Structure formats: structure tokens, C-alpha cells
Amino acid sequence: MRRAAAALTILPLGGCEGVQSVLDPAGRDAQVLSDLFWVMLIGAVILWVALNGLIFFVTRIAPQPLSRKGAEALIIGGGIVFPTVVLAGLLIYALSEMPKQRAEGEGLTLRVTGHQYWWRVEYWPDGAEAPVVSANEVRLPTGQRSEIKLNAERVIHSFWIPTLGGKTDMIPGRETRMSLEPEKPGVYRGQCTEFCGESHAYMAFGAVVMTPEAFDDWLAREARDAMTPETETERRGREVFLAEGCGGCHRVRGTAASGNVGPDLTHLAGRTTLAAGILPMSHAALRDWIADPAAFKPGVEMPAYDHLAERDLDALATYLMSLE
């Protein structure tokens, strides 16, 4: 019994920290929600203990009959007034915290579009005439509130980075918005939290929080064209990429590939994960993904390239891994 109780205690504690824990905040908005959770929990515990303690008292400790006046005072005071005061206090506190979740962003604006099953991410620095386009990863600077505009292509999605803030739905034909103010640099995880199809559970993304200086350096590199292949294998991989028509769906800036159907691959290898958060960014994982995407993400629109010769498949993965 003691071992079972210890195991049951450890399980919920496992959700108190990590890259996707609402109880391990890394941003001002997530801290507000975490504080709200603890205040609500404490209020609920007080209410539960008080009411059940009162019932225990009158039924077990002092079960003698009460006068009519005493019974009415007990029922009205303990069953109506006390719960109303506690719940009203919790409601007032919660409502006072809500405006903090709707604050306007400053400086950097991101536009994130949910597709099936990946994310298009556009960075619009203050005064920019054109966006810096990326995919399946969100990067944010610390110390400032970034505005995030949300759209969806076909079905409803929902954008959520638990360690940074609450979630907001993404609705086709309607732009929604949120803002986030990260405080701790690190690599976290975001997730679609609205059922969007058979690979909904595999629609995640990396969330990288950086210092303002590091973010500015990264954004400047992200805006550049793709790196030129340096080795024979990389050059062979680029030939395969273009010959197989990959550029009809994907864009690689600085090459003839100018597709806009799938994720922008200009700096693919610089991202923390592959295939919208479900695979590590490695040569082996990329090779397997290209050969048979549906094996990892059912319903994905990218076709399989298992017809390629082993040499060409390896060269293609090598080329893409050079795009940092």
C-alpha cells in the first residue's frame, strides 16, 4: 500500500516541470496562469475541507439535534454564505488576471498559420516590408512582448506553448491574436490543442526563447538565402531535390525552388526538430521521413520518395542537412 501510494504521488509530480509543463513557467503569461492555478487549488481545498469538516462535525463529533435557529445558521452560513464568499473571491481574482493575457505586443510580430499538419511562421520585425519565413518552430526574444497573429488554412487548430502562456484557437477565414512575454531562455515545446485530423497528436513545434542579442543575430541569418552546397554529395542532393520536383511545394531561397505549398526549407537544419516536432533533426531521421512520411504522420500530404535509389536518398538528406 505504501509503495502504491508513493507511485501515485510521483505520477502527478512528473507534470510539474519540463518543456511542456504549465506548472514550470518560463514567461510572464505562463506565470500568471500558474499563479491562478495555485490560488484556485488553495481556494478549492479550503472550501472542500471546510464543508466536509462541517459535515463530519455535525454527524460524527457532535451528532446531537440542533435547534431550528442553529440548524438554519449552520446551513445558511456554512452551505451558502461561506462558499459564495470564497467562490466570489476566486472569480474576482481570476477576472482581474484576464486582461494581462490580452496585452498588446511591442516591436516583433509573428504570423503563424496552421496547416495539416505543420506550421508556417512569418517574422515581421518593426518596420519590415517583407517577412522572414520559417516553419514548424517559433523563436522569441526575452524581455519584450511579441505579438502573434494566428490563422488556419483548412480546419480549426489551436496554438499553445504551455511554458509561455495560454492557448488561442486558429480559425479559417478569421485572424485571432495573442501575445507572449518570455523570460527564461531555453527550448520548449508547443502543440496544437484542437483536434484537426488523424495526425493531430503529431502536430507539435519547437519553441526557442533567446536573449534579444542572440535573437537578432539568428533572425539576420534566417533572412539570408540558403547556403551553397560545398561537397559533391551536397551538390548531388540539390540536383535530386530539383529533379524530383520538390521545389514545386517547398521554397529554398537562393535556388529555383519557390514552392509555397509546404514548409520553407531554406534553413531547415537550423531547427531543433523535424516534421513539426515529432522527429530529431538528424540525417537518419530526415532520410526516413523523405522515404515514407505517412509512416510517421498519417494523412500527411507529402508523398513518399521510397522509389529513389539509396545513393540519391542519402545525397538528398545530406543536402537538406547542410541548409543551416
Q: At what angle do helices 283-291 and 310-321 cross, to 10 degrees?
A: 130
Q: Which residues contact 31 (CB under 8 A, 6 or more apart)?
A: 25, 183
Q: How far apart are the first and last CA of the chain?
A: 53
**Cell numbers linked to 220:** 539576420
Backbone angles phi, psi at 76, to 5 degrees: -70, -45
Question: Please, where in the chain does CATH 2.60.40.420 lie?
Answer: 109-222, 232-321
pLDDT value at residue 5: 56
DSSP assignment, residue 184? S
For CA atoms 8, 90, 143, 190, give the dihedral sign. Answer: positive
- In tens digits, the chain (324 residues) has pLDDT values of 667 655 555 555 555 667 778 889 999 999 988 988 998 898 889 888 888 888 888 788 878 887 888 888 878 887 788 888 888 988 898 888 777 777 888 879 999 999 999 999 999 988 888 999 999 999 999 989 999 999 999 999 999 999 999 999 999 999 999 999 999 999 999 999 999 999 999 999 999 999 999 999 999 999 999 999 999 999 999 999 999 999 999 999 999 999 999 999 999 999 999 999 999 999 999 999 999 999 999 999 999 999 999 999 999 999 999 999
**Cell numbers linked to 126:** 518593426
Consecutive H or E run containing 177? strand 176-180
Query: Is the bond preceding residue 305 a cis peptide, omega within 30 degrees?
Result: no
Instruction: Give the span between the Cα atoms of 119 and 262, in whole angstroms.
Output: 9
CATH fold of 232-321 reads: Immunoglobulin-like (2.60.40)
Whole-model pTM?
0.84
CB 310 within 8 A of CB 127: no
pLDDT value at residue 77: 84
CB 162 within 8 A of CB 25: no
Confirm or reject CATH 2.60.40.420 for domain 109-222, answering yes or no: yes
Instruction: Give the span between the Cα atoms of 132 and 129, in whole angstroms.
Output: 10
Closest residue by Cα to residue 162 from 297, 41, 8, 15: 15
Q: Provide Rg for the chain, Cα atoms.
A: 26
